[in-house]
Structure formats: C-alpha cells, structure tokens
Amino acid sequence: MENVLYGLAAGLAVALVIFIVMSIKLRKARSEGAKDSARFRQMLSDRMELESEGLAKLKKENEELKKANENLRISIQTYAQKPGRKELQRLTVYQTAVDRLIINSPGFGAAWQAALKESEEEFEKTYVGVQAFIRKIIPMKTDAQVIGEVEDKTGDNL
C-alpha cells in the first residue's frame, strides 16, 4: 500500500505544481487583460475627447460662417438700397432693351445712334458756355419733371 501512497503523493505533487503554474499563468493573463482593457479605455477616451474637440470646432466654425453669411446678406441689402443703385439697375435694363432693339429692328439702330449723338452734344454744351451759366441761374425742366407735374395735376399715371 505504500507504493500506492507514494504514487498518490507523486501525483498530488505533480498536480500541485501544475496548479501553481496554471494559477501564475492565469494571473499574468488577467493582469495583461486588465492592462489591455485600461489601454483600450484610455484610447477610447482620447478618441472621444478628440472627436468632441473636433465637433466643437466645427460647430464654432459653422456659427461663425452663419454670422458672416448674415452680415454679408445685410451688407448686400444695404448696398442695393444705397442712392443711385436703383437708377443703375434701371439704366442696365434700358441698355439691354436698346441693344435688343438695335439687333432686332433694322431701322431703329441708325435713328437711335443719331438721337444719342445729338443728346450727348447737348449734354456737353450744358457744361460749357452760356447754356451752363443760364442753367445754373434758371433750372430747366426735363421731360421727366414735366411728365411728373402733369401726372400730379391730373392724378393719372400716364
């Protein structure tokens, strides 16, 4: 029976050595798992922090761009309402219409050029000589002023 006890003791000793070796390996694996888990948590928190900073920057930039857009929209509206802008727009429309008439109407071009040249010469005379002096003293009524007065007196829009 002694041999059985020696065999049992030897088997228990081998089992104890295997148990100790396995428990040491298990502790190492758990500590490595804990280290990996801590490392992954740190990486995740770093990534979330970077993404939140990037998102905050994008939101801030978006707000700045919205403000700049609104300022530009207001500036454009203000510029469009400045004195003379409507007149310039109207002159552009008239010029486009005249260009179309010159192209589409064969007889209109020559008559228009002659009337334009006469008007330019008359306009230049208003700044030189006696006519300029007379216009400064006695303002002349233009066709637009006369039409406006006729509309005011009659109450009709012609």
Find the domain containing 9 and state its range: 1-82
Percent of the chain past pLDDT 90, that is, above it, reads: 41
Q: What is the Cα–Cα distance from 45 to 51, expressed in whole angstroms? A: 10
Mean of pLDDT values over 111-140: 69
Higher per-residue pLDDT: 153 or 61: 61
C-alpha neighbours within 13 Å on the C-beta side of residue 72: 6
Give yes or no for a contact between 101 and 113, defined as CB atoms under 8 angstroms apart.
no
Counting the structural domains of the chain, the total is 2
The helix/strand/coil state of 142 is coil
46 plus 92 within the same structural domain: no
Mean of pLDDT values over 72-99: 80
Q: Which residue has the tokens 């004195």?
A: 83
| Count of residues in the chain | 158
Give yes or no for a contact between 158 and 146, defined as CB atoms under 8 angstroms apart.
no
Question: DSSP alpha helices (H): ranges in the chain?
Answer: 2-80, 85-104, 108-125, 130-137, 143-154
37 plus 92 within the same structural domain: no
Burial 147-157 (b: 16+ CB within 10 A, else e): eeeeeeeeeee
10 plus 78 within the same structural domain: yes
Q: Which residue has the tokens 């334009």?
A: 116
Of 48, 82, 116, which closes a domain? 82
125 plus 57 within the same structural domain: no
Q: Which of 39-48, 54-63, 103-112 has the lowest mean pLDDT?
A: 103-112
Checking 114-118 for CB contacts under 8 A at 24+ apart, the result is none
Q: Which of 12-16, 57-61, 112-116 has the lowest mean pLDDT?
A: 112-116
